[in-house]
């Protein structure tokens, strides 16, 4: 999938999908478990939907 077609989720959306807190996502990013894409002037975190779905699949395997 090209970078231009990658769907990005906000930290709130990703936390809801994974049923974890936003702090957990920040910690995972800091520990390189689930890397966030930084966007905008404020460098807000966004998460690739594909990465979120991979974690969900791993958890159900």
Please classify residue 34 by burial: count the beta carbons closer than 10 Å to its beta carbon, then call 0-12 exposed, 13-18 middle and 19+ buried. buried
* CATH annotation of 3-60: 1.10.1660.10
Compute the Cα dihedral for 46, 49, 54, 60 and give only its sign.
Answer: positive
What is the pTM assigned to this prediction?
0.85
Q: What is the pLDDT of residue 59?
A: 81
Contact between 38 and 45 (Cβ < 8 Å): yes
Q: Does pLDDT of 5 surpass 60?
A: yes
Which tens digit of pLDDT belongs to each residue from 20-35? 999 999 999 999 999 9
């Amino acid at each position: 999938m090209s970078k231009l077609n990658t769907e990005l989720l906000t930290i709130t959306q990703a936390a809801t999908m994974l049923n974890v807190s936003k702090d957990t996502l920040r910690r995972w990013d800091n520990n390189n478990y689930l890397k966030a894409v930084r966007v905008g002037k404020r460098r807000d975190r966004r998460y690739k939907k594909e990465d979120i779905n991979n974690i969900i699949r791993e958890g159900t395997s």
